[in-house]
Structure 1
Amino acid sequence: MNLNILRETFVSFVRSHGMDRHFRRLGADMFRSTPVSKDVPPSLAETLSSAARVDISELFQTLHSRADGLTEAEADTIRASAGPNEVEHEKPISKWVHLWQCYKNPFNLLLTVLAAVSYLTEDMKATIVIGSMVVLSTMMRFIQESRSNTAADKLKAMVSNTATVLRHDLAEDIAEEALRYFDVTLHPKGARRIELPIKKLVPGDIVQLSAGDMIPADLRLLTAKDLFISQAAMTGESLPVEKFVAHRGTATSNPLELDNLCFMGTNVVSGSATAIVVTTGNRTYFGALAERVTATDRTPTAFQSGVNKVSWLLIRFMMVMTPVVFLLNGYTKGDWVEAFLFAMSIAVGLTPEMLPMIVTSTLAKGAVALSRKKVIVKRLDAIQNFGAMDVLCTDKTGTLTQDKIFLERHTDILGEQDDLVLEYAYLNSHYQTGLKNLLDVAVLEHAELQREMALASAYRKVDEIPFDFQRRRMSVVVSEREDHHELICKGAVEEIVSVCTHARHNGQVVPFTKELLQEIYETTSSLNAEGLRVVAVAAKDLPPTKEVYGVADESDLVLIGYIAFLDPPKESTKPALDALKAHGITVKILTGDNELVTAKICRQVGLAVDGMLLGNDVEKMSDAELAMAVDTTTVFAKLSPTHKERIVRVLHDKGHVVGFMGDGINDAPALRAADIGISVDTAVDIAKEAADIILLEKSLMVLEEGVLEGRKTFANMLKYIKMTASSNFGNVFSVLVASAFLPFLPMLPLHLLVQNLLYDISQITIPFDNVDKEFLEKPQRWNAGEIGRFMVFFGPISSIFDITTFALMWYIFGANTPEHQTLFQSGWFIEGLLSQTLIVHMIRTRKIPFFQSRASWALMSMTLIIMMVGILLPMSPLAHYFKLQALPLTYFPWLLLILVAYAVLTQAMKGWYARRYGWQ
Structure 2
Amino acid sequence: MTNDGRAPGARWPGLSEPEARRRLARDGPNVLPDEAPRTVWRLIFDVVKEPMFLLLLTAAGLYLAFGDLREALTLLGFVVVIIVITVVQEGRTARALEALRDLSSPRALVLRDGVVRTVPGRELVVGDVIRVAEGDRVPADAILREGTVLTVDESLLTGESVAVTKTPSPDAERVGPPGGDGGALYSGTLVVSGRGVAEVLATGARSELGRIGASLRDVDQTRTPLQREVDVVVKRMAALGIGLSVSLFVAQGLLEGEWLDAALAGITLAMALLPEELPVVLTVFLALGAWRIAKSRVLTRRVTSVETLGAVHVLCTDKTGTLTQNRMVIRRLVTDAADLDLGAAPEELPEAVHGIVEYGILACPRDPFDPMEKAFLELGARALDGTEHLHPRW
Q: TM-score, normalised by structure 1?
A: 0.27
CA deviation digits over 1:675-733, x for unaligned, max 9? xxxxxxxxxxxxxxxxxxxxxxxxxxxxxxxxxxxxxxxxxxxxxxxxxxxxxxxxxxx
Please list, as runs of the form range in 1=range in 2, the aligned pairs for 1:151-300 lying within 5 A after superposition: 151=92, 162=103, 165=106, 201-204=121-124, 208=132, 218-222=140-144, 225-227=150-152, 229=154, 245-246=168-169, 262=185, 278-280=202-204, 284-290=210-216, 293=218, 296-297=220-221, 300=224
Query: For the Cα contact (< 8 Å) 1:226–1:242, is it kept in 2?
Result: yes
In 2, Cα distance between the equivalents of 1:240 and 1:299? 39
Partner residue of 1:140 out of 78, 81, 85? 81
Please list, as runs of the form range in 1=range in 2, the aligned pairs for 1:632-651 lying within 5 A after superposition: none
Tell whether 2:251 aligns with 1:326. no
In 2, Cα distance between the equivalents of 1:306 and 1:209? 49
Q: 1:250 to 1:278 in 2, by over 3 A?
A: closer
In 1, Cα distance between the equivalents of 2:177 and 2:324? 41
The 10-residue stretch of structure 1 (143-152 or 376-385) with the greater mean CA deviation from structure 2: 376-385
In 2, Cα distance between the equivalents of 1:208 and 1:298? 42
Tell whether 2:49 aligns with 1:104. yes
Alpha-carbon offset, residue 92 of structure 1: 3.4
Residue of structure 2 equivalent to 1:435? 370
Please list, as runs of the form range in 1=range in 2, the aligned pairs for 1:834-873 lying within 5 A after superposition: none
In 1, Cα distance between the equivalents of 2:292 and 2:178? 43
Alpha-carbon offset, residue 297 of structure 1: 0.6
Please list, as runs of the form range in 1=range in 2, the aligned pairs for 1:797-812 lying within 5 A after superposition: none
In 1, Cα distance between the equivalents of 2:166 and 2:271? 61
Residue of structure 2 equivalent to 1:426? 361
Alpha-carbon offset, residue 106 of structure 1: 1.4
Q: 1:140 to 1:423 in 2, by over 3 A?
A: closer
Residue of structure 2 equivalent to 1:415? 339
CA deviation digits over 1:144-172, x for unaligned, max 9? 33334445566778988746955669xxx
> Any idea what SS the aligned residue of 2:339 has?
coil
Q: 1:365 to 1:152 in 2, by over 3 A?
A: farther
Query: For the Cα contact (< 8 Å) 2:144–2:185, is it kept in 1?
Result: no
Q: 1:212 to 1:279 in 2, by over 3 A?
A: closer
Q: TM-score, normalised by structure 2?
A: 0.53
Q: 1:328 to 1:346 in 2, by over 3 A?
A: closer
CA deviation digits over 1:352-395, x for unaligned, max 9? 45544544445546767998xx7655225687899999xxx965
Q: Once superposed, what is the RMSD of the aligned Cα atoms?
A: 6.4
Q: 1:326 to 1:345 in 2, by over 3 A?
A: same
The letter of the residue matching 1:441 is L
In 1, Cα distance between the equivalents of 2:308 and 2:214? 32
Residues matched between the structures, number: 335
The letter of the residue matching 2:38 is I
In 2, Cα distance between the equivalents of 1:135 and 1:306? 23
Query: For the Cα contact (< 8 Å) 2:31–2:105, is it kept in 1?
Result: no
In 1, Cα distance between the equivalents of 2:191 and 2:273? 54
In 1, Cα distance between the equivalents of 2:37 and 2:13? 37
Bigger share in helix: 1
Tell whether 2:39 aligns with 1:94. yes
> Any idea what SS the aligned residue of 1:220 has?
strand
In 2, Cα distance between the equivalents of 1:88 and 1:226? 30
The letter of the residue matching 1:429 is C
In 2, Cα distance between the equivalents of 1:227 and 1:315? 55
Query: For the Cα contact (< 8 Å) 2:152–2:189, is it kept in 1?
Result: no
In 2, Cα distance between the equivalents of 1:319 and 1:100? 24
In 2, Cα distance between the equivalents of 1:367 and 1:251? 42
Residue of structure 2 equivalent to 1:309? 229
Q: 1:88 to 1:404 in 2, by over 3 A?
A: closer
In 2, Cα distance between the equivalents of 1:377 and 1:251? 35
Please list, as runs of the form range in 1=range in 2, the aligned pairs for 1:51-130 lying within 5 A after superposition: 57-58=14-15, 62-63=19-20, 85-89=31-35, 92-109=37-54, 125=65
Residue of structure 1 equivalent to 2:3? none
> Any idea what SS the aligned residue of 2:47 has?
helix
Q: 1:423 to 1:101 in 2, by over 3 A?
A: same
Residue of structure 1 equivalent to 2:347? none
The letter of the residue matching 2:14 is S
Please list, as runs of the form range in 1=range in 2, the aligned pairs for 1:734-749 lying within 5 A after superposition: none
In 1, Cα distance between the equivalents of 2:183 and 2:278? 51
CA deviation digits over 1:624-646, x for unaligned, max 9? xxxxxxxxxxxxxxxxxxxxxxx
> Any idea what SS the aligned residue of 1:412 has?
coil
The letter of the residue matching 1:285 is R
Residue of structure 1 equivalent to 2:7? none
Which structure has the larger Rg? Answer: 1
Query: For the Cα contact (< 8 Å) 2:151–2:165, is it kept in 1?
Result: yes
CA deviation digits over 1:820-877, x for unaligned, max 9? xxxxxxxxxxxxxxxxxxxxxxxxxxxxxxxxxxxxxxxxxxxxxxxxxxxxxxxxxx
Residue of structure 2 equivalent to 1:447? 384
The letter of the residue matching 2:204 is T
In 2, Cα distance between the equivalents of 1:163 and 1:209? 17
In 1, Cα distance between the equivalents of 2:106 and 2:132? 6
Query: For the Cα contact (< 8 Å) 1:114–1:344, is it kept in 2?
Result: no
In 2, Cα distance between the equivalents of 1:228 and 1:396? 16
> Any idea what SS the aligned residue of 2:376 has?
helix
Alpha-carbon offset, residue 439 of structure 1: 0.9
Alpha-carbon offset, residue 212 of structure 1: 12
Q: 1:136 to 1:333 in 2, by over 3 A?
A: same
Unmatched segments (≥5 aa) in structure 1? 1-54, 66-77, 119-123, 170-187, 194-199, 458-920
> Any idea what SS the aligned residue of 2:221 has?
coil
CA deviation digits over 1:436-494, x for unaligned, max 9? 4541322564638866869x98xxxxxxxxxxxxxxxxxxxxxxxxxxxxxxxxxxxxx
CA deviation digits over 1:174-215, x for unaligned, max 9? xxxxxxxxxxxxxx9x9889xxxxxx84132968587997x7
Partner residue of 1:378 out of 299, 317, 332? 299
In 2, Cα distance between the equivalents of 1:363 and 1:333? 44
CA deviation digits over 1:262-299, x for unaligned, max 9? 555x75697667765953379943454455x27x3157
Query: For the Cα contact (< 8 Å) 2:29–2:123, is it kept in 1?
Result: no
Identical columns (%): 14
In 2, Cα distance between the equivalents of 1:281 and 1:226? 25
Query: For the Cα contact (< 8 Å) 2:141–2:186, is it kept in 1?
Result: yes
Query: For the Cα contact (< 8 Å) 2:226–2:307, is it kept in 1?
Result: no
Q: 1:333 to 1:270 in 2, by over 3 A?
A: farther
Query: For the Cα contact (< 8 Å) 2:193–2:369, is it kept in 1?
Result: yes
Alpha-carbon offset, residue 100 of structure 1: 0.9
In 2, Cα distance between the equivalents of 1:342 and 1:83? 66
Query: For the Cα contact (< 8 Å) 1:231–1:267, is it kept in 2?
Result: yes
Q: 1:378 to 1:346 in 2, by over 3 A?
A: farther
Q: 1:85 to 1:343 in 2, by over 3 A?
A: farther
Higher relative contact order (CA 8 A, sep 6+): 2
